[in-house]
Chain A
């Protein structure tokens, strides 16, 4: 194990990181347990309460539970992927049609099986809606889904639901769910099952990818996640849930009429979904309650029933203006309340601090001394208590002898680009560009603005498809691979503008980015190494500079073969930039991946790179060791326009 002497400042920063880590872990445990208890209480208490109500109210509760399921299907899309799908009840009408048709045909399997088939029948329609969303976002999707609701509504006006006009034979529910109270419990169980499935999915890369897609397709692909898979997946789930709800409506009223599924009813539920934040289970449940009971409650206080449709939109507008849904706000205040109560009971001094602020303060680059200090901290403190993840980091056995050179055995270069040419309309962006990044090294790519550096990164990572020349990673030709396939082949990159996901915590983000099983210790180790935040910090609470470090941590955790960093220190203070540089120089040693660093700050380049390439006007201008290349007249001229060599050399 590497042992580096710690001085006072190092141990302070490492200790504060660890105490914030421990606080975050504790709060996570408390929140989880409280959440589980609350969920369990709600799951049991709701049916108990409903059993005590009169028949009329039980019917309303069934409507509420079914509405809550429709709201879940809206929440999957609107909350997670920010895709506005305005036809939930159109999917539901398909489910209703299927159940009724199967009943008329006398299919075997009975109601439960038909309900499953109803959900499955919704999927192709979800895919039809989702297919345009693969490449298009937002408004197009809202328009096509509203048109779909409009079209299907007209079809059901002309062609009534099967069996809805014959009164000779009527669908009945199987005996276990024959009574209204039992049917409510059945609907409630389905709601809970969907909620649990969505909860589990949210915590896996598949579900996390939805939130990343909402933020940026580039970021999704750059993490090796399939944009197509994420988007189609969410449509499949949403359509399935909505179609099941349609089948449940048939189970409730034994028939279906087109007015149950009108486009405007879809829009009303959509407004309710945004208002309550139906991406969270409690939001969907409360939304279902609201939409089913609001008319009754209003008329009981002598307000006309249709005021509901005026009140919901007001709530929606208010929620969109505030930027947070009702359920998200409730969850937050619920947590705060319970944490406060717990702090009072425990009266422990450290629990009174708010984790977020404490952790952010401790983890901003400014608060950490130097990269060496952090790297040393990551290994272990003087007291020999390895809180962070030694084995997990797989540190190898040596300290890097000089910047950016590792002792990793030489093989084929980590990255080799040969004869790359890119042409945009009328502009030659890259011309015959060739370079190599040796395995286990940090190489720099510098050049004035517009030289083509980011274009080269786009070519390597696959965002630009039409190029001449070849790209090889660790000896393998990757020209025919798509972005996410290149990621899987070992290419990772960061962007000039950060693309982290505000809704996730830092730890969740790193886990998603890693695309492999990774322990929380290893996540914490990588974050501490890079000088990033605690894994428990919510990204929305972290400053932009630290978010960029978090992106680097995510890439490193994936253990790629080549890491492309696009100006990682832009916007950081000089001391922080140098700290990042020192950390980056250790990446090949600690994580076994080569780094190509695009940078404008020559100090950073000097501190981290063993080799640099200079570009200008889309071509290679020079390459070699930093100290030699930065003195070349051509390089100086490219940067300054005139041969003011002294100025550059000084820098």
Chain B
């Protein structure tokens, strides 16, 4: 039974975790709950696949793919800076949903929605632990998620840039009045998250169905993990994402439930929100 959980954790936990940590980073610094992050990642990943099949070597194709993901993300960031600099989080989320739809449509337009081979990011057959196969790509995914979380938390709390980013998250306009480079920093976050999102999709997509739109929805389990972490706690998001992957894997063990793995995020989110019901909430200001 635990092997099944481990398989799930290894196969998708790392990618979920990378996405979840990026989503929190973006939410905490730019105020955008980025529903479109995986869709942006799909754009980069499809570019990677196209470059690779057209003869580029794996490393170069991956680097260009990641750059394209980052660039697409920066374009989305520019939209926010231009029109939604001081909008409410709900409005920003509305825009992110439109960006998900738009980015997926643009990706389909450029690369078509035909099934395509997405090469493993790191080639190699891997090894088995107690019957569970660990490929280099999946191990890389988990390791990267842990290192990235460590870097992000340290950066935010130990460096001057981190302090500036935390200030920006509280109020972009006020921070700009303090002379902080709000726009460049915001765009840097968008670019970095786009790159990380692309890597996450590259890691997970070899195991998924090939449609752009369905891969774009990999964001859902990641969002569930960020919700468990109350959109705030990076390590908790990392752990929740890995556990979500594990829970999905657990269904492998129960053969009849195997096809229902996509129900897991909803069940987790519902449980967490019901638990949150204990608290009474009024809008802050008196």
Name A residues whose Cβ lies closer than 8 Å to a Cβ of B.
Answer: 82, 84, 86, 128, 131-132, 134-140, 142-144, 146-148, 150-151, 153-155, 157-158, 216-218, 221, 262-264, 267-268, 270-271, 274, 304, 306-307, 309-310, 312-314, 316-317, 320-321, 454, 458, 463, 465, 495-497, 566
Instruction: Tell whether, in the assembled complex, residue B101 and residue A312 are in contact, meaning their CB atoms are under 8 Å apart.
Output: yes
User: A155 vs B102: C-alpha distance in the bound complex, in angstroms?
Assistant: 26
Which listed residue, B223, B267, B276, touches A136 by the CB 8 Å rule? B276
CB pair A158 B260 closer than 8 Å = yes
A317 surroundings in chain B (CB, below 8 A):
79, 83, 95, 98-99
Residue of A nearest to B257 (CB): A158
B277 touches A131 (CB 8 A): yes
Work out how many contacts link A and B, with CB atoms closer than 8 A.
Answer: 162
Say if the beta carbon of B132 comes within 8 Å of chain A.
no
Which of B45-53, B84-92, B121-129, B165-173 participates in binding chain A? B84-92
Chain B residue nearest in CB terms to A309:
B105
A135-B280, A271-B98 known; A454-B286 Cβ under 8 A: yes
- The CA of A13 and the CA of B78, in the complex, are separated in Å by 50
- Judged by a CB distance under 8 angstroms, whether B279 is at the interface is yes
A317 to B75, CA, bound (A): 13
- What is the bound-complex CA distance between A129 and B262, given in angstroms? 17
Closest 8 CB pairs of A and B: A313-B102, A309-B105, A154-B262, A132-B273, A321-B83, A313-B98, A151-B266, A147-B266
Contacts A150-B217, A304-B109, A463-B282; A267 near B260 (Cβ below 8 A) = no
B248-286 near A? 1/0 per residue, CB < 8 Å: 000000000001111101110110011011011111011
**Of A143, A216, A264, the contact of B227 (CB 8 Å cutoff):** A143
Residue of B nearest to A219 (CB): B283
Q: Which residue on chain B has the smallest CB distance to residue A463?
A: B282
List 5 A-B pairs, Cβ < 8 Å: A142-B97, A146-B35, A146-B220, A309-B102, A320-B95
Q: Chain A contacts of B102 at CB under 8 A?
A: 309-310, 312-314
Q: Given A139-B90, A217-B281, A313 and B99 touching (CB < 8 A)?
A: yes
* Interface membership of B224, Cβ < 8 A: yes
Is A320's CB under 8 angstroms from B84's CB? yes
Instruction: Find the A residue at minimum CB distance from B285.
Output: A497
Chain B at the A interface: SS class: helix
- Choose among B97, B109, B224, B261 the residue with the greatest number of A CB atoms under 10 Å from its CB: B97
Whether B220 and A465, one on each chain, are in contact in the complex, defined by CB atoms closer than 8 angstroms, is no
Closest to B113 in A: A306
Closest chain B residue to A458 by CB distance?
B286
Give Cα A144 to B265, complex, Å: 9
The reply on B108 being an interface residue by CB < 8 A is yes
Residue in B33, B87, B104, B273 whose beta carbon sits within 8 Å of that of A309 in the complex = B104
- The closest CB in chain B to the CB of A132 belongs to B273
What CA separation (Å) do A216 and B284 show in the bound complex? 9
Chain B residues near A316 (CB, 8 Å)? 94-95, 98
Question: Which residues of B sit under 8 angstroms from A82, Cβ to Cβ?
Answer: 90
Evaluate contact between A146 and B101: CB separation under 8 angstroms: no
Chain A residues with CB below 8 A from B261, complex form: 154
The CA of A158 and the CA of B258, in the complex, are separated in Å by 10
The one of A148, A158, A217, A274 in contact with B282, judged by C-beta atoms closer than 8 angstroms, is A217
Known: A135-B279, A264-B101, A267-B100. A307 touches B109 (CB 8 A): yes
| CB-nearest residue of chain A to B108 | A306
Across the interface, name the chain A residue whose C-beta is closest to B103. Answer: A313
Interface size of B by Cβ–Cβ distance < 8 Å?
54
List of A residues within 8 angstroms of B263 by Cβ = 151, 154-155
**Minimal Cβ-Cβ distance residue in B for A315:** B98
If A151-B265, A264-B213 touch, whether A136 touches B270 (CB-CB below 8 Å) is no
Please state if A132 and B270 are interface contacts (CB–CB under 8 Å): yes
| CB under 8 Å from chain A, chain B span 139-195 | none
A139 touching B105 by the CB < 8 A rule? no
Tell yes or no: B59 within 8 A of A by CB.
no
Are A264 and B216 in contact (CB-based, < 8 A)? yes
The contact of B97 among A155, A216, A271, by CB within 8 Å, is A271
Given A137-B281, A317-B98, A320-B98, 11 more A-B residue pairs with CB atoms under 8 Å apart are A131-B274, A147-B223, A154-B263, A262-B213, A267-B100, A274-B98, A307-B105, A310-B109, A317-B83, A317-B95, A317-B99
Residues of B within 8 A of A465 (CB): 280
CA distance A307 to B108 in the complex (A): 10
Verify B89–A139 contact, CB threshold 8 A. yes
Cβ-based interface call for B106 (8 A): yes
State the CA gap A84–B276 with chains docked (Å).
Answer: 19
**Residues of chain B having any CB pair with chain A under 8 Å:** 33, 35, 79, 83-84, 87, 89-91, 93-95, 97-102, 104-106, 108-109, 213-214, 216-217, 220, 223-224, 226-227, 231, 259-263, 265-267, 269-270, 273-274, 276-277, 279-283, 285-286
Nearest B residue to A153, CB-CB: B262
Report the Cα distance A249→B4, complex, angstroms: 39
Shortest Cβ distance from residue A645 to the other chain B in the assembled complex, whole angstroms: 31
Q: Do A144 and B270 touch across chains, with their CB atoms under 8 A apart?
A: yes
| Assembled-state Cα–Cα distance A143/B108 (Å) | 25
- One of A84, A136, A147, A321 near B224 (C-beta < 8 A): A147
Most A-side CB within 10 Å, residue of B95, B266, B267? B266
CA distance A316 to B104 in the complex (A): 15
B224 proximity list for chain A (CB < 8 A)? 143, 147
Q: Are A217 and B217 in contact (CB under 8 A)?
A: no
Q: What is the distance, in angstroms, from B276's C-beta to the closest C-beta of chain A?
A: 6
Contact among A148, A320, A463 with B266 in the assembled complex (CB-CB below 8 Å): A148
- Cβ contact of A313, chosen from B101, B214, B269, cutoff 8 A: B101
What is the CB-to-nearest-CB distance from B122 to chain A, in angstroms, rounded to a whole number?
Answer: 29
CA of A148 to CA of B35 in the docked complex: distance in angstroms?
Answer: 15
Query: Do B259 and A154 have beta carbons less than 8 Å apart?
Result: yes
For A134, what are the chain B residues with a Cβ–Cβ distance below 8 Å? 277
Give the distance to chain B from A125, nearest Cβ to Cβ, in Å.
11
**Which residues of chain B have C-beta atoms less than 8 A from A321's C-beta?**
83-84
Which of chain B's residues has its CB closest to A322's CB?
B83
Chain A positions within 8 Å of B79 at CB level: 317
- Expressed in whole angstroms, the minimum distance between the Cβ of B264 and any Cβ of chain A is 8
Residues of B within 8 A of A157 (CB): 259
- Report which of A216, A306, A312 forms a contact with B283, defined as CB distance below 8 A: A216
- CB of B120 to closest CB in A, whole Å: 25
A570 to B144, CA, bound (A): 54
For residue B274, which residues in chain A have a CB less than 8 angstroms away from its CB? 131-132
**B83 closest partner in A (C-beta):** A321
Q: How far is the CB of B201 from chain A (nearest CB, A)?
A: 16
| Contact assessment for B93 and A158 in the assembled complex, using a CB-CB cutoff below 8 Å | no
| CB closest chain-A residue, reference B218 | A150
Q: Which listed residue (B231, B279, B282) contacts A139, Cβ 8 A? A: B231
Chain A residues lying within 8 Å of B83, measured Cβ to Cβ, are 317, 320-321
Closest-CB distance, B96 to chain A (whole angstroms)? 9
A residues near B89, Cβ cutoff 8 Å: 138-139
The CB with the most chain B CB atoms within 10 A, among A86, A128, A158, A262, is that of A158
Closest residue on chain A to residue B284 by CB atoms: A218
Distance A139 CA – B214 CA, assembled complex (angstroms): 21
- A294 → chain B closest CB, angstroms: 12
Tell me which residues across on chain B come within 8 A of A147, comparing CB atoms.
220, 223-224, 265-266, 269-270
> A267, B108: Cβ atoms under 8 Å?
no
Q: Specify the chain B residue showing the minimal Cβ separation from A221.
A: B282
Query: Which A residue's beta carbon lies closest to that of B227?
Result: A143
A217 and B285 CA atoms in complex are apart in Å by 11
Contact B93 A84 (CB under 8 A): yes
Contacts of A142 in B (CB 8 A): 33, 35, 93, 97
Contacts of B286 in A (CB 8 A): 218, 454, 458, 495-497, 566
CA distance A147 to B262 in the complex (A): 8
Chain A residues, CB < 8 A from B270: 128, 132, 144, 147
Q: Which of A135, A154, A309 contacts B260 (CB 8 A)?
A: A154
| Chain B contacts for A150, CB-based, 8 A | 217, 220, 262, 265-266
Chain B residues, Cβ within 8 Å of A306: 105, 108-109
Which has the most chain B C-beta neighbours within 10 Å: A86, A157, A271, A496?
A271
- CB-CB under 8 A from B33, the residues of chain A are 139, 142-143
